[in-house]
Amino acid sequence: QTISIAKAGITTVLNSRTSVLAAANPPSGRYDDLKTAQDNIDLQTTILSRFDLIFIVKDIREYDQDKKIASHIIKVHASGAAASKSTNATEGENWLKRYIEYCRVTCHPQLSEKAAEMLQNKYVEIRQRMRQQANETGKAAAVPITVRQLEAIIRLSESLAKMRLTCVATQEHVEEAFRLFNVSTMDAARSGINEHLNLTPEIAQAEAQIKRRMGIGS
């Protein structure tokens, strides 16, 4: 993974040796289902294309879900306070961290021929589908599908194989990588309404009145 920099007369390519986890809010503060993905995300495509997975997390007001979230947050704070009082941590508490480090150091999987062929076919299929959608709507998707996304799916496939300490990334790993890509980045690109829908004046007026009376996301 590399990052291209062109600032202050300096043009170079630097290695990216770390993973980046970023979060951002929509321009209106809440995700508006009546807007397109481009309006809700409001980030340049050059920035979005650098992320392997893009998830849209909505704050849906549901009693059961709110109760689970509140319970989880309370437990996290309670366990954190208890852990801070204890100075002797057992080795079993960090087993997951040690396992991830072991996988990272000892396993370096490569794509098999069948997995590479499947990866190529699925990537071309997604590109054709996105091109067809752009031709029908007259506007490009909020999240572009480029070679960077292909590299992202390759990294996901190899990471899935690495988690199982497998030296070869198989078709199963590619399938799971595409599943993750579809439920994250592709869903983000397809989210929101189609702005090219022809709304009657009555519907547009009703929509404006509803927006004035109700908070976005309620």
In 3D space, the residue among 138, 174, 182, 144 whose CA is nearest the CA of residue 156 turns out to be 174
pLDDT at residue 74 in the model: 92
**Per-residue pLDDT tens over the stretch 13-38:** 877 677 778 888 888 777 777 777 77
Joined together, the tokens standing for residue 93 give 């508490």
pLDDT at residue 122 in the model: 92
Using CA atoms in the order 24, 30, 36, 37, what is the torsion angle rounded to 10 degrees?
A: 20
What's the whole-number mean pLDDT along residues 130-141? 75
Tell the CATH superfamily of the 2-83+108-192 domain.
P-loop containing nucleotide triphosphate hydrolases (3.40.50.300)
Q: Is the pLDDT of residue 87 over 50?
A: no
Where are the strands (E) in 69-169, listed by range?
110-111, 168-169
What's the whole-number mean pLDDT along residues 184-196? 69
Residue with tokens 């079993």: 92
66: left (phi over 0), alpha (psi -120 to 50) or beta: alpha
71 and 123 Cβ atoms separated by less than 8 Å: no
